[in-house]
Structure 1
Amino acid sequence: MAARRPPNRREQIRVAATELFLERGYHNVSVTDVADALGITASALYHHYRNKQDLLFQAILSGLDTVDCLIQEAGALDDALRSLAALVTGPRKVFAVWEREARNLDGSQREAIREREAEVAAHFGLLLRVARPELGAKDAELVSRAVLGALGSRGRHQIRLPRRRHEQLMYRLGSMVAHCPLPPGGKSGDGLPLARPHGPIAAGLRMPRRDQILTEAIRLFDERGYQSVTMADIGEAVGIVASGVYRHFPGKVDLLVAATNRAGERIRAAAEQALLHAADPRSALALLLRAHIDVSVENAHLIGILAHERDQLPEKERTALRRVQAAYLDVWLQALSALQPGQDPAEIKIEIHATHAMTSFVIRSTRNDMRPDRPERLAELALHLLLDCCASNDPRRPRPSPLAGRPPKLHALAPWGETAQ
């Protein structure tokens, strides 16, 4: 007698695929892999999903539906924040596959995800505006996306806390972003302006061919994923044949190495410039934040590659990149630790990751021409999160002094490929 098909087989397939996409990356998973994980045949899987891309689309859509359901079931903003904090600290990493793998969808699928994402932010925005009627529609949307980005940071790192403690921390982070006061006109409260660097393109100059190739490769790697891009694709984007690309770069991996080197150099240079002007830990943190936002705005594709393509690097370069990123995190940790004496370094690192994820998500999910004051608003939200979160939400923890300690030392940012001090 043939075994009966479980009534929830479609959901089982989607869950198994999601776990494999998160563990191995979309391009390293086949339909057969998903079928094997459930002990079924690939042909049985095709009864439910057309192909692997359809599986990914449904996995991301299901994650968004889960988030939206929690928001719409919440009676108030605080209820939604608590539900989302419980979700992100649980076993399901609904944000991770959404942010990391959506670029592997086709154009119509990506547009459907963007529309669903906008609906989720809008539903959260409704709760936000009830709790904060002074917020305009645009600010409510921005803050909604910032909250989702901060909470989604849970899938970006491996730092672990006891479940209940982690959930409380994520709730505090989301709450501080949601309740951040935003001065009218997009003017920052600390008077620290964001730089507006002007590169060759802004000045109307033509870059050297090698730089053109690298710039287009960076864009394509971020938009489509490293494994989906060919040397011919890069050449076509520049207006040359693939052999012309090979005259400047021996292979595709050399382009990825050059891209991550460029990203590391720009992050390091921005941080060093910020710390040169820091008088105390608070100003160091504010300047680091502005430098980070500036680099993220001006180099969105580079930041995307750092977040999602590190595993594609050769082992030597991957190790070097990990060291640079660890050194960068350590500078932030020094500045914030001086302002939050006695706090667990693991909690501080989670706060930093939440800040970086929030800025990245808002920048990548909103258009600059629709919201040109994004950097200033992001700076306000991030400073509020980092400086006030723990002191404002835990009465047992003393409020840190804004002048405590000394600014981080420049040597904390180790040279490329060296171990951080």
Structure 2
Amino acid sequence: MVTRTDASTRRQQILKEAARLFAERGFHGVGVDEIGAAVGISGPGLYRHFPGKDAMLAELLVGISGQLLTGGRRRVEECPGDPAALLDSLIEGHIDFALDDRPLIVLHDRELERLRDSDRKLVRQLQRQYVELWVEAVRARYAPLTEVEARTAVHAVFGLLNSTPHLSRPDAPPSRAAAAALLHRLARGAFDAAAPQ
């Protein structure tokens, strides 16, 4: 008997492999049979979990946008009244995403326009809310930074952190801990540099 937990785990396996394959070969370069083979089921068996590849892509991109926002809100609640700790916590959370979910960064860059309008709008809405958390945190930490300056700095830091798919060479990858520490220093350095002198 297949339990709800088993089905949920299988869905997560399918999404993980779909993200990897879509990032490697592009959305149209991957068939459902290949995704099924990667998780040990037939291509048609995927339709028990998803109506098709479009639904997988939507769940991946909407899902990660929602997870980032939820995590950001949790971090805001955990650091009341401490702007420096909040900013460090937001940076750490985004670094975890950037290092652990690299295929999703590639997918967002390459495939966002393939989503249905409603899904794409939802991704954008979630992302705007996530950015606003950061803008408020940066302004609290670096007052009297203007909203425009804070927003510019936040987007620049996202660009830096989201460059992780290009970070390592296969023959000399940095350790995860070393990469995370370096990214954190770079992000904080960028925000420090944006602060009024």
Show the counterpart of 1:299.
101
Q: Work out the CA distance in 2 between the residues paired with 1:208 and 1:261.
A: 18
Show the counterpart of 1:254.
55
Show the counterpart of 1:220.
21
Does the Cα contact within 8 Å between 1:266 and 1:295 map onto a contact in 2?
A: no
Q: Work out the CA distance in 2 between the residues paired with 1:263 and 1:367.
A: 25
Q: For 1:322, what is the secondary structure of its paired residue?
A: helix
Q: Give runs of aligned pairs for residues 358-397 of structure 1, distance below 5 A.
A: 358-366=160-168, 370-372=173-175, 373-386=178-191, 388-391=192-195, 397=196
Q: For 1:309, what is the secondary structure of its paired residue?
A: helix
Q: Work out the CA distance in 2 between the residues paired with 1:319 and 1:261.
A: 10
Cα deviation, 1:274-298, whole Å, max 9, x if unaligned, reads 2232132222111100111012212
Q: Work out the CA distance in 1 between the residues paired with 2:125 and 2:180.
A: 27
Show the counterpart of 2:130.
328
Which structure shows the bigger proportion of residues in helix conformation?
2
Q: Which runs of 5+ in 1 are unaligned?
A: 1-206, 392-396, 399-421
Amino acid corresponding to residue 332 of structure 1 in structure 2: W
Aligned CA distance change for structure 1 residues 224 and 363 (closer, same or farther; 3 Å): closer
Q: Work out the CA distance in 2 between the residues paired with 1:285 and 1:277.
A: 12
Among 329, 333, 338, which residue is 2:140 paired with? 338
Aligned CA distance change for structure 1 residues 347 and 294 (closer, same or farther; 3 Å): same
Show the counterpart of 1:113.
none
How far apart are residue 367 of structure 1 and its match? 5.5
Q: Which runs of 5+ in 2 are unaligned?
A: 1-7
Identical-pair percentage: 30
TM-score, reference length from structure 1: 0.41
Note the aligned Cα RMSD (angstroms): 2.3
Task: Decide which structure has the larger Cα Rg and report it.
Answer: 1
Does the Cα contact within 8 Å between 2:69 and 2:129 map onto a contact in 1?
A: no
Does the Cα contact within 8 Å between 1:337 and 1:343 map onto a contact in 2?
A: yes
Does the Cα contact within 8 Å between 2:139 and 2:145 map onto a contact in 1?
A: yes
Aligned CA distance change for structure 1 residues 233 and 380 (closer, same or farther; 3 Å): same
Does the Cα contact within 8 Å between 1:363 and 1:374 map onto a contact in 2?
A: no
The structure whose RCO (Cα within 8 Å, separation 6+) is larger is 2
Does the Cα contact within 8 Å between 2:76 and 2:86 map onto a contact in 1?
A: yes
Q: Give runs of aligned pairs for residues 17-56 of structure 1, distance below 5 A.
A: none
Count of paired positions: 187
